[in-house]
Structure 1
Amino acid sequence: MNSAITNYYPTGNEYISIPTLNESGDIESINVLSMRHRGLLEMCGDMGKAPLMSPIVKVDGTKHNERKQWSRLEHWIPSWMLDVKGIQVESVICAPMGEKAFYYSYTLKNSSKERKKVTVGFTGTWAITYHTVNEQKRMRTEVEAYKSLWNEGMMFEMYGETPLLALCPMSSHPLTIEEFENKNRGVVYTIETEVDLSPGEEEEITFYWGVGLEEVSAATAAKELMRQTRKKVESKTREWLFTRKLKSSDKELESIINLNSFFNYFYAIGNTYDTEELVLVTSRSPRYYVSAAYWDRDSMLWSFPNVLHIDHQKAKEMLLYVFKKQWRNRGIHSRFIDGTVLEPGFELDELCAPFLALDKYIQSTDDSGILDELNAQQLIDEFLSVLMENKHSIHALYRTFLQPTDDPVVYPYLTYNNVLVWRTLEICSRWSDKRRTELHSMAEMTKEAIWNYMITNNGEGQKIFSWATDLKGGFHIYDEPPGSLQLLPYYGFCSKDEPVLMETIKEIRSEKNKYSFKGKQFEELGCSHAEHPWVLGIANSLLSGRKEEAKDLLLRAPLDNGIACESFHEETGVSTTGEHFATCAGFLAYALYEAFGEKKVKHHVKN
């Protein structure tokens, strides 16, 4: 368990992620997605010695860094307040929609009876640049600072053989200090501006930071934001967020829903800064231990339902990306953002996930035209070609090499995975004219085989669904939050009051399962992959009839400063593994909204 946890206030937009905005107001790093590099490029400070950007607040020459009071505008845009020597300071950190830039503003008000001299700005260092796909690898590049005519001020630019990435600051007020030093292949800098405030006077100072491929694009990204003005772009972004807010009669839950919903939207989806293509990832935050890569299961089963709730057009773009960029390596464990194999290994749930998402999209929007757009008949044929390679020689059941946790199987035929196959075959039968009867028959045979061959005795005379079987008499009694047997009704396989299912849930939630955490302060299911309760377990409870228990747990558990992680401690509720798990945040938001939300009407997407 991590006992020294720093609270972070991540934010960002389609192009820029700011995952490590810490309690002091420091930005430890920012990152962008690069198609050329198939992952994240992280601009970082100096490994705990100095952040990338640290705010400066001075009153009458004395620097202040007292504890800040944090909040979020529209559940997403971080803001902090500080009151020192009669000066009220309010900062907003916002990456406006559609911009390759963000701003860090200071609103200053003199509530004292004396005239005050106030200095604000930043000091920091761009010391390290990481290339990140699961692992952070330091790039052998050089960062140089220089005066640029494009912004009439400072420019930071990272070089390989050519410029690869640039960062440009601009200020709404003339700078009184602008210092930089090129040092150890990085830069150290300070920028400040100073104002005199009379009693009762208020001043707003905004620093705009542009990101680009090189000098010109970074400078003009910052300049464009400054020209539009902070007030205009912030209003536009807040309106965008407000219209996509998910409502609940329980306002405390509503806050949890929307923080996780927006974190999912901006950290599991992004646009590459170099080619401006939409891509899907597990997380755009390096705090998640397998960040910046693509998993069908994560993006289609966990992230997609939440996005479908708040932005149908974006949900469609997700599907187009999956079937046009990622489909060639269908069913493979994980891939780079360009579709290239990252981690090999066949997973049955990964193969089915895109079809389950596509069906959910059509049911929600009535946009059946997407089937022709994607050439669904060809997709079905390609799906079946992989599926049949993994069929049992006799029974209509299908094997997987890896479990939903991505760990190797004990036995290859998983009940949960074969339920997904049954569901996918049923879906395909509705979409296919030439193979409708065949596909429906295949689905029925798989359903029958599950009932005939995937049920075992729990040792006390009760029939339960096995987690897995070898179809030779071996059964594994177990469960995993990433693919729980509790979700069989969610996928339409059986009712919630099916006796075999009820006994199964009773079994996996009993003391016999060491990952049930029965009787602990934060009782929820976990598994061997991370031996603590899982946030996905909370989502499963919300979707399977345990919504009040899940609600109680969520209102007590700190998690990762309110954001979904992989697992949390059974006695404290604090994150133990997998911070900033963006796709999981989506499934949590979706499940919470399904359980406690005020539902929206069906929306029709225009072709």
Structure 2
Amino acid sequence: MKIPSILINKAKELEEYYKIHYKPLAPLAARCFLNTMETTVKQLEDGSYFVITGDIPAMWLRDSAAQVRPYVKYAAQDRELRVIIEGVIAKQAEFVCLDPYANAFNERADGSGHKDETENNDHVWERKYEVDSLCAPLYLGHAYWKATGVTGIFTPVYKEMIVRILETFITEQDHSRSKYFFTRHDCVKTDTLPAGGKGRPVNVTGMTWSGFRPSDDCCKFGYLIPANMMAVTALGYVEEISRDVYGDVELAGRCKALAEEIRDGIMDYGVVNHHKYGRIYAYETDGFGNYNLMDDANSPSLLAMPYLGYCGREDELYQNTRRFILSEDNPYYNAGSRAAGMGSPHTPEGYVWHIGIIMQALTSTDKKEIRNCLEMLADTHAGTNYMHESFNPEEPEEFTRPWFAWANSLFGELLGTLMEQGFFDGEEK
């Protein structure tokens, strides 16, 4: 596929900048920035675009939005890039309308993918219900609108997607009313939902239930706080779209009311008093007083909340939580001789995720901390000049997923952000 010229030029600019300002990362700059566009984006016969994650031939709603997100800011300057991103947005809207409970889809309705006990659809690769998967297309559409001023993406299908998402979130505020179920046989425990495919019981809190985390692992407790935070922000975006683009005041009001209910639920049920860190956000809760205190490198994470627009980086509750999740008190914070950062129960015990280190840098207010993250990233790509899913912090040559476009895109975004902010200005070259 032809890569838009603006991205080629931006990749060269990044490479030249880091040759001067941070030479160890220069060989990665252009390669990671272009990886999504070079290897995962495909135009389909209907003009829409299909985006695989890398080494899996399916399109995840979450991943595809994250993969193209760093390109959005340049779209106003390049028609070819606008066509691609608009095609991705159209495909996401189509998929959500097919099945709002699915997280990943096939290029064709050929029945590829997992054969699970759920309501099957030949378009669906996997039907793990994840709140953040529905938020991702809303984030992408809103960001594209703000960057370009283009309203043509807000078609009747896109509006139908908004309504389907709204209705799904409302249904899952009381999961006992939901028809969704999911069972996978002959798999690890985290790949299926307990209690006959319905998940563990939850109280009604105002938040919306999620079966699975962004890692595609099942939730321990059904109210995943980072996903609900993302939902609050996404609903704010579609409130604005519904009012200012569609002129639908009633729909805008429904979005606003739901966002307020979810936010209140987070504050009433998702905050705990920690003996060391004070008031912090839990990762999950069931609304009955049970909490899961942890964070996972997959985004949305608690760490990523300023990046995802839920709160400011200086927010006191966020800072308390950040101190917890970037410490050994977080069961998925791992440290070795070559790196330290968040991992995930989704990957080998003790491994660190590049996405976690990148997100730590993107949300930091401390220049020294950001520098440390850059040093770890430069030292742990195992000579491949690409980011990976996870790696052994003692032996980075031991890693998972050599082709993981989301991590490469996020890394490219970090390099671009630091360049635009003049992070290295005033330093000796």
1:535 aligns with 2:307: no
Matched, 1:305 2:305: no
2:230 counterpart SS class: helix
* 2:214 matched residue in structure 1: 404
Q: CA deviation at 1:316?
A: 1.6
Larger Rg: 1
**Matched position secondary structure for 1:481:** coil
User: Which of 581, 586, 589 in structure 1 is aligned with 2:404?
Assistant: 581
CA positional deviation for 1:445: 2.4
Work out which of the residue numbers 353, 356, 375 in structure 1 matches 2:139: 356
- Matched residue, 1:427: 237
**Does 1:522 find its partner at 2:339?**
yes
Q: How far, CA to CA, are the matches of 1:584 and 1:374 in structure 2?
A: 33
Q: Would the alpha carbon gap of residues 511 and 394 (structure 1) be closer, same or farther in structure 2, given more than 3 Å must change? A: closer
**SS of the residue 1:391 aligns to:** helix
Compute the displacement of 1:514 (Å).
4.1
Query: In the alignment, is the contact (CA less than 8 A) between 2:277 and 2:320 conserved in 1?
Result: no
1:503 shift after superposition = 1.7
Q: Aligned runs of 1:240-259 on 2, under 5 Å?
A: 242-245=8-11, 247-248=13-14, 249-251=17-19, 252=23, 253-259=25-31
Distance 2:12 2:207 in 1: 39
Matched, 1:391 2:180: no
Q: How does 1:11-26 map to 2 (within 5 A)?
A: 14=1
C-alpha contact (below 8 Å) 1:541/1:550 kept by paired residues: yes
CA–CA distance in structure 2, aligned partners of residues 246 and 429 of structure 1: 38
- Given that 2:335 and 2:393 are in contact with CA atoms closer than 8 Å, whether structure 1 keeps it comes out as no
1:269/1:281 contact within 8 Å kept: yes
Which residue number corresponds to residue 439 of structure 1?
A: 255
In structure 2, distance between residues paired with 1:529 and 1:548: 27
Equivalences, count: 356
CA-CA distance at 1:384 after TM superposition: 1.3
Aligned residue runs from structure 1 range 425-504, under 5 A: 425-432=235-242, 433-434=248-249, 435-460=251-276, 462-483=278-299, 484-504=301-321
Distance in 2 separating the partners of 1:487 and 1:243: 29
Q: Does 1:380 align with 2:159?
A: no
User: After superposition, where does 1:326-345 map in structure 2 within 5 Å?
Assistant: 327-338=97-108, 340-345=123-128
Do 1:467 and 1:479's aligned partners in 2 also have CA atoms closer than 8 Å?
Answer: yes
CA distance in 2, matches of 1:325, 1:456: 37
CA distance 1:544–1:575, change in 2 (3 Å): farther
> What is the rounded CA distance, in whole Å, between the counterparts of 2:277 and 2:339 in structure 1?
30
Superposed CA deviations along residues 269-320 of structure 1, whole A, max 9, x for unmatched, are: 1246x9886311111xxxx3xx1111111111x2021232453332122112
CA distance in 2, matches of 1:441, 1:366: 26
Distance 1:329 1:558, change over 3 A: same
For 1:482 and 1:282, the matched residues in 2 are separated by 14
Task: Give the counterpart letter for 2:145 in structure 1.
Answer: I
Judge conservation of contact 1:414–1:469 (CA < 8 Å) in 2: yes
Structure 2 residues not aligned, in runs of 5+:
75-80, 110-122, 175-202, 243-247, 423-429
CA deviation map 1:391-449 (0-9, x unaligned): 13743201111111001111010110001110111111112223223322221222222
8 A Cα contact 2:307 2:362, kept in partner: yes
In structure 1, what is the Cα distance between the partners aligned to 2:141 and 2:307? Answer: 16
- Is the contact between residue 465 and residue 500 of structure 1 (CA under 8 Å) also seen in structure 2? yes
Structure 1 residues 493 and 309, CA gap change in structure 2 (3 angstroms): closer
Amino acid in structure 2 at the alignment position of 1:257? A
Pairwise CA RMSD of aligned residues? Answer: 2.5
Q: Report how far residue 592 of structure 1 moved.
A: 2.6
Give the Cα separation in 2 of the matches to 1:297 and 1:593.
Answer: 21
CA distance in 1 between counterparts of 2:127 and 2:8 reads 41
1:511 aligns with 2:323: no
CA distance in 2, matches of 1:324, 1:503: 40
Question: Which residue is 1:566 aligned to?
Answer: 389
Q: Which residue of 2 aligns with 1:551?
A: 374
- When you count helix as a share of all residues, which structure comes out higher? 2
Q: Contact 2:142/2:241 (CA < 8 Å) preserved in 1? A: no
Which residue of structure 1 aligns with residue 188 of structure 2? none
Deviations 1:326-374 (A, max 9, x none): 5412341322123611222211111111111111111111112321x35
> Any idea what SS the aligned residue of 2:42 has?
strand
- 2 CA distance for matches of 1:465 and 1:573? 31
Q: Which amino acid aligns with 2:18?
A: D
Q: 1:522 touches 1:572 (CA, 8 Å); kept in 2? A: no
Query: How does 1:86-97 map onto structure 2 within 5 Å?
Result: 97=2
TM-score, reference length from structure 1: 0.55
- Residue 50 of structure 2 is aligned with which of 262, 267, 279? 279
Q: Which has the higher contact order (CA 8 A, sep 6+)?
A: 2
> Aligned partners of 1:323 and 1:520: how far apart in 2?
45
2:195: which partner in 1? Answer: none
The whole-number CA distance in structure 1 between the counterparts of 2:137 and 2:336 is 37
Once the two structures are superposed, residues 535-576 of structure 1 have per-residue CA deviations (whole angstroms, 9 ceiling, x without a partner) of 111221122114322211122223460112101220233351
- Distance, in Å, in 1 between the alignment partners of 2:342 and 2:291 is 20
Unaligned runs of 5+ in 1: 1-13, 15-96, 99-236, 600-607
> What percent identity do the matched residue pairs reach?
20
Q: CA offsets, 1:180-224, max 9 Å, x none?
A: xxxxxxxxxxxxxxxxxxxxxxxxxxxxxxxxxxxxxxxxxxxxx
| SS of equivalent residue, structure 2 residue 340 | coil
In the alignment, the residues of structure 2 paired with residue 332 and residue 560 of structure 1 have an alpha-carbon distance, to the nearest angstrom, of 36
In the TM superposition, residue 460 of structure 1 has moved relative to its aligned partner by 3.3
**In 2, are the aligned partners of 1:525 and 1:534 still within 8 Å (CA)?**
yes
Structure 1 residues 515 and 459 mapped into 2: Cα distance closer, same or farther (>3 Å)?
A: same
Higher percent of residues as strand = 1
Are residue 322 (structure 1) and residue 92 (structure 2) matched? yes
Q: Secondary structure at the match of 1:512?
A: coil
Is the alpha carbon distance of 1:436 and 1:549 closer, same or farther for their aligned partners in structure 2, counting shifts above 3 Å?
same
Match of 2:40 in 1: 268
How has the CA–CA distance of structure 1 residues 303 and 460 changed in structure 2, closer, same or farther, with 3 Å as cutoff? same
Distance 1:318 1:572 in 2: 37
Distance (Å, rounded) in 2 between the aligned partners of 1:580 and 1:418: 29
Question: Partner letter of residue 380 of structure 1?
Answer: I
Inter-partner Cα distance in structure 1 for 2:336 and 2:400: 21
CA distance in 1, matches of 2:134, 2:342: 25
Query: For residues 254 and 597 of structure 1, what CA distance do their matches in structure 2 show?
Result: 16
Q: 1:473 and 1:321, CA in 2 relative to 1: closer, same or farther beyond 3 A? A: same
Question: What are the within-5 Å matches in structure 2 for residues 37-48 of structure 1?
Answer: none
The secondary structure found in structure 2 opposite 1:247 is helix
